[in-house]
Amino acid sequence: MSETSRRYYPVSWEQLHRDAKALAWRLAESGPFKGIVAITRGGLVPAHIIARELDIRVIDTICISSYDEETQGDASVLKSVGGDGTGWLIIDDLVDTGKTGRIVREMLPKAHFATVYAKPAGRPVVDTFVTEVSQDTWILFPWDTEPQYAKPIAKARAGETVVP
């Protein structure tokens, strides 16, 4: 995807909390769960919110690296967990292409897989999600951004580059 065709969807801490809590509401009827497996790093914050809302005290992690700032590369499993996933809830912030999700599904095929945000290419990999965004949208999570000046939209229409 070229930089000019990419859309940005900034998510604040407050919105992420609301969306993760909405996901917890959807998951409440699917449990009870033995625990949560958070996909690091993006799944850590939503996993905490969902664990609190569903009163889950056991949290483990699967560590997979597939992004380098704004590009997705080859996925590398840094840490996995045992078992087939029976009774477990997998949490991630986003399913994009589904590459990471398919790796996790292979590791824990019987777990319930939930993400806060989903793109069309990855959507079939997850069981539950809250918000779907277009495939060309780059979600700007609050842990990846900091407040800064934003140029007016009119300047962007005049051909000036507008950085989110």
Name the residue ranges covered by the structural domains of the chain.
7-157
Say what the pLDDT of residue 74 is.
76
Q: What is the pLDDT of residue 158?
A: 66
Q: Report the catalytic residues.
A: 92-93, 96
The CA-atom distances, in angstroms, between 45 and each of 63, 99, 121, 142 are 14, 21, 23, 11
* Number of Cβ within a 10 Å radius of residue 64: 24
pLDDT at 1: 46
Task: Identify the CATH class of 7-157.
Answer: alpha beta
Instruction: Return d(Cα 69, Cα 18) in angstroms, integer.
Output: 25
Task: Return averaged pLDDT per consecutive 10 residues of the chain, 164 residues in all.
Answer: 70 97 97 96 97 98 78 78 96 96 96 98 97 95 86 72 55
Compute CA 14 distance to the chain's CA centroid, rounded to the nearest angstrom. Answer: 16
- Predicted confidence at residue 163, as pLDDT, reads 55
CA nearest 114: which of 54, 72, 69?
A: 54
pLDDT, position 73: 67
pLDDT at 37: 98
139 in a known ligand binding site:
yes
Q: Is 104 annotated as a binding residue?
A: no
Q: Is 31 annotated as a binding residue?
A: no
CA distance 115 to 90: 8
The answer to whether 138 is annotated as binding is yes
pLDDT score, position 69 = 57
List Cα–Cα distances, 128 to 40, 91, 152, in angstroms: 18, 10, 36
Question: In degrees rounded to 5, what are phi and psi of residue 152?
Answer: -65, 150
